Amino acid sequence: MKVINLVYITAFTLFIHFNSNGQNLLDKLNKEFPKESINEIATFKTTRIGLSHSIETRKKGALEISMYNRYWNHKEGTTQSFLADEVNIRFGLDYAFSDSFTVGLGHSINDKITDGFVKYKFLRQKKNSKVKPFSMAFFQEISYINNNPNSGTYSFYNNNNSTSNSIYSFTSQLLIARKFNSKFSMQVSPTFITRNKDFANNQSRSQFAMGFGARYKVGGHVSIVSEYYSVFNPLKSTKTYNPFMVGVNWEVSHLLLQFQMTNARNFAKDVFITQTTNNFNFHDGNFHFGFNATFVLHTNKKKL
């Protein structure tokens, strides 16, 4: 019995020996790689899918300088303006305090809304992992508008018996995104919006919405993106439409460009999600051309 055992062991040892000899050096090396799975990167690449935020956050020390534009024409279509009748431009600054925490500020010139946000990415999708199949981030925005009843910018709100014209809106979002493969990513964003002022018709100040966004990479630097928000309890006083966007994102080194077709003309989340009064089509007054340019400045460079 002992002898037979020994024969087996010997044969086994010889086999291992033979095996290790025949084994390619590269195969051997590939077994040496650490088993831990790595984080998925570039789910959307840009910190905005188009209209609203993606789960992406920039790395620590990155400053994003952005200019977002929307151009559209008046309904009549008889105007003689150069290129477009109206433009809304948002100037923004975003700073990444850490790899997962970003703070941003912006002001848009046409609707005169100032907004600020914080975004915290608390879950990162792992490559080929069943434990962390998606990334998650929390997003909170506050927007401010001085609603002067004389100018009548915002007819949505109940301006009777009010002493203050300041409207503060709060948008909270949970961003959940998954990179399915190197080309395709999707995001859903449950959204809660509330503000400090009542609407007309005694409607609730709070609204719920669900955002959907997707990205499909068509080339090394170009991807097609689309975004849509579905509002569950839209305004009763005014007919509103859900915002939709389809566009192209183009990355040129430090400059990230977005070209889009949309029906949303505002940049503050609470406004474009719940108060877009035109639907998406190609008629004057409804069609909006969007052009977003973001420059990424790295304020702390890694030492190699």
Partner 1 sequence: MNKLALFFILALFKTGNLLSQQHIARQGQVTFFSYTSVENIEAKNNQVLSILDVEKKEMAVSMLMRAFVFKKDLMREHFNESYIESDLYPKATFEGHFNNLEGSLNQTSLMKGKITIHGITKNIDIKTTIKKTGESYAISGEFNLTVKDFNIKIPPILSSNIAKVVLVKFKFQYLGYESN
List the Cα angle 230/236/241 in 5-degree steps: 35
Tell me: does residue 128 bind partner 1 (CB under 8 A).
no
For 19-59, the three-class secondary structure string (H helix, E strand, C coil) is HHHHCCHHHHHHCCCCCCCCECCCCCCCCECCCCECCCCCC
Query: What is the amino acid identity at position 22?
Result: G
End-to-end CA distance of the chain: 62
Question: Which range touches partner 1 (CB under 8 A), out of 35-43, 71-79, 84-92, 273-281?
Answer: 35-43
Nearer to partner 1, 27 or 76 (CB): 27
DSSP track, 225-293: EEEEEEESS--SSS-----EEEEEEEEETTEEEEEEEES----SHHHHHH---S-SSSSTTT-EEEEEE
Q: Which of 74, 236, 239, 254 lies at the binding interface for partner 1 (CB under 8 A)?
A: 254
Nearer to partner 1, 66 or 263 (CB): 66
For residues 160 to 199, the per-residue mask of contacts with partner 1, x marking binding by CB under 8 A and - elsewhere, is ---------------------xx-----------------
Q: Is 296 an interacting residue with respect to partner 1 (CB under 8 A)? A: yes
Q: Going by DSSP bridges, is the β-strand pair 184-195/207-217 parallel, antiparallel, or unpaired?
A: antiparallel
Between CA 35 and CA 196 the distance in angstroms is: 51
| Alpha-carbon separation of residue 185 from 49, 51, 181, 216, 232 (angstroms) | 11, 16, 7, 7, 24
Site track 48-67 with partner 1 (rule: CB under 8 A), x = hit: ----------xx--x-----
Please, what is the minimum distance in Å from the beta carbon of residue 35 to partner 1? 13
Judged by CB under 8 A, the number of residues near partner 1 is 41
Residue 17 binding partner 1, by CB under 8 A: yes
Minimum distance from residue 173 beta carbon to partner 1 (Å): 23
User: Does residue 16 bind partner 1 (CB under 8 A)?
Assistant: yes
- Between the CA of residue 193 and those of 81, 114, 146, 205, what are the distances in Å? 36, 16, 18, 8
Q: Is 42 in the site for partner 1 (CB under 8 A)?
A: yes
CB of 266 to partner 1, least distance (A): 28
Q: Quick one: tokens of 72?
A: 């559209």
Nearer to partner 1, 17 or 74 (CB): 17
Token output for 225:
């993106």
Phi-psi category of residue 278: left, alpha or beta, with phi > 0 → left and psi -120 to 50 → alpha? beta
Tokens of 127: 């490559």
Tell me: does residue 221 bind partner 1 (CB under 8 A). yes
Among 25, 82, 131, 161, binds partner 1 (CB under 8 A): 25
Query: Applying CB under 8 A, which of residues 22, 32, 160, 232 lies at the interface with partner 1?
Result: 32
Residue 93 interacts with partner 1 (CB under 8 A): yes or no: no
Rounded least distance, CB 117 to partner 1, Å: 20
Residues in touch with partner 1 (CB under 8 A):
2-3, 6-7, 9-10, 13-14, 16-17, 20-21, 24-26, 28-30, 32-33, 38, 41-42, 45, 58-59, 62, 181-182, 220-221, 251-254, 296, 298, 301-304
